[in-house]
Amino acid sequence: MEIKEEKVVAVILVGGPTKGTRFRPLSFNTPEPLFPLAGQPMVYHPISACKRIPNLVQVFLVGFYEEREFALYVSSVSNELRVPVRYLKEDKPHGSAGSLYYFRDKIMEESPSHIFLLNFDVCCNFPLPNMLEAHKMHGGIGTLLVIKVSAESANQFGELVADPITNELLHYTEKPETFVSDLINCGVYVFTPKIFSVIQEVFLLREDRADLRDVSSYESPQLAIRSLPSDFVRLDQDILSPLAGKKQLYTYETMDFWEQIKTPGMSVKCSALYLAQFRFTSPHLLVSGDGKRNATVVGDVYIHPSAKVHPTAKIGPNVSISANVRVAAGVRLMNCIVLDDVEIKENAVVMHAIVGWKSSLGRWSRVQADGDYNSKLGITILGESVTVEEEVVVINCIVLPNKMLNVSVQEEIIL
């Protein structure tokens, strides 16, 4: 009797243009999933993590961006990582579980035994093979990646209670008002195909409820649910909460790093986490230099091969420099992301900042911030094609595209 090789597929939810508002002004000209972290598009990191899953046959990106925005990237990343990647465009948002269900036929095409579901805006080391092992051991419908966080920050996420011995998910609540647990949901899951019938049951319940609407004056607690379209199903509230405590869902705790990339400021922090991880996973992406023939490099730094950096510059830690960037003599860069086609002239300084595409920084200018990644102006962001003139200092500011700064500014949003 031949043993059927198990196949695994992965689905990465990339959202759509309406979601990118928190990422302005950087999302004006690139979809947030394609914004570079550690020199690679944000969505590259989960895709390359999927490559480590045994018997992976396909990665799907699911979202409601226009296909042309992803077509080029999908083909280049498929070639580079030798993993088949496809973009599936939703006609409208269906929610995290709804979008999985919407494309169930395509996802199940190769009859996979397991389906990974990841969110593109999660930054972690994605311990997917270990999760899969744990999931098979528990024998449930799904396993969620979880992590312990500080009690103060837990309520920004889905909090959950798990059995300390069996790891069964006992209780799940999304962004609770009162403290439930310091264990939170990381937004990374593995399911068996049974998940589709669970989502289908939610659909059917919704439709029944829609038919009952006329009779249901007594049904006030469910009023909130009625406002959702019947084909919009959220994984957390509609699937995880009801299934908790039924020996169907289990947890796998990561002891490594985890962040959610909600703001441009967090992207600088997450870029640092990924650069540090490259030391183990992709050392060829990091550069080194001692200031003789190449610039002096401190800590983890990514420099695109097409960028030109003067040997007297000092770069790092936590810097990523994109394509066709020109860095002149005496420049100092640390904790920053420099996007394509930027020119940084002699002796300029950039710290805790994101410098947008085609921007230009004059001699002796400074673009910096205090580096509080959670506050709105904790890093300085220059949108596309911003010019900072010679000797101008920009501190803790957000500058919209195509602005020319000829006087120094601090703590401002420049529209």
User: What per-residue confidence (pLDDT) applies to 219?
Assistant: 45
In a domain, 68, yes or no: yes
| Domain boundary residue, one of 223, 242, 260 | 260
| Domain boundary residue, one of 228, 260, 292 | 260
User: What per-residue confidence (pLDDT) applies to 228?
Assistant: 66
In a domain, 24, yes or no: yes
Looking at the fold, whether 143 and 252 belong to one and the same domain comes out as: yes
DSSP labels for 347-389?
Answer: T-EEEEEEE-TT-EE-TT-EEE----TTSTTSSEEE-TT-EE-
The domain that holds 256 is classified in CATH as: 3.90.550.10
Looking at the fold, whether 193 and 276 belong to one and the same domain comes out as: no
How far apart CA 383 and CA 190 sit, in angstroms, is 37
Looking at the fold, whether 235 and 297 belong to one and the same domain comes out as: no
Looking at the fold, whether 230 and 361 belong to one and the same domain comes out as: no
User: What per-residue confidence (pLDDT) applies to 221?
Assistant: 45
User: What per-residue confidence (pLDDT) applies to 224?
Assistant: 47
Looking at the fold, whether 111 and 236 belong to one and the same domain comes out as: yes
Q: Which two tokens stand for residue 314?
A: 């000092």
State the Rg of the chain over Cα. 23
Mean pLDDT per segment of 10 residues, for the chain of length 415 residues? Answer: 76 82 79 93 96 95 91 94 94 89 95 96 95 96 94 82 93 80 93 94 78 50 54 86 92 94 91 94 90 92 97 96 97 97 98 97 97 89 96 96 96 90
In a domain, 23, yes or no: yes
Name the residue range of residue 124's domain. Answer: 8-260
| Domain boundary residue, one of 232, 260, 288 | 260
User: What per-residue confidence (pLDDT) applies to 319?
Assistant: 98
Looking at the fold, whether 73 and 114 belong to one and the same domain comes out as: yes
Beta pairing partners, 87: 61
Q: Kindly give, in sequence order, each residue whose CB lies less than 8 Å from that of residue 155, ignoring residues fewer than 6 positions away.
A: 175, 176, 177, 179
Report helix, strand or coil for 253: strand
- What is the pTM assigned to this prediction? 0.91
Looking at the fold, whether 67 and 188 belong to one and the same domain comes out as: yes
Tokens 């990381």 sit on residue: 186
In a domain, 299, yes or no: yes
In a domain, 1, yes or no: no
Question: For the chain, how many structural domains are there in total?
Answer: 2
Looking at the fold, whether 90 and 234 belong to one and the same domain comes out as: yes
In a domain, 16, yes or no: yes
Looking at the fold, whether 24 and 148 belong to one and the same domain comes out as: yes
In a domain, 115, yes or no: yes
The domain that holds 355 is classified in CATH as: 2.160.10.10
How far apart CA 42 and CA 36 sit, in angstroms, is 6
Looking at the fold, whether 271 and 232 belong to one and the same domain comes out as: no
Q: Which two tokens stand for residue 197?
A: 């019938």
Beta strands in 83-224 (DSSP E): 85-89, 114-119, 122-124, 142-148, 158-162, 169-174, 183-191
Q: Quick one: DSSP state of residue 64? A: S
Looking at the fold, whether 130 and 39 belong to one and the same domain comes out as: yes
Looking at the fold, whether 66 and 96 belong to one and the same domain comes out as: yes
In a domain, 43, yes or no: yes
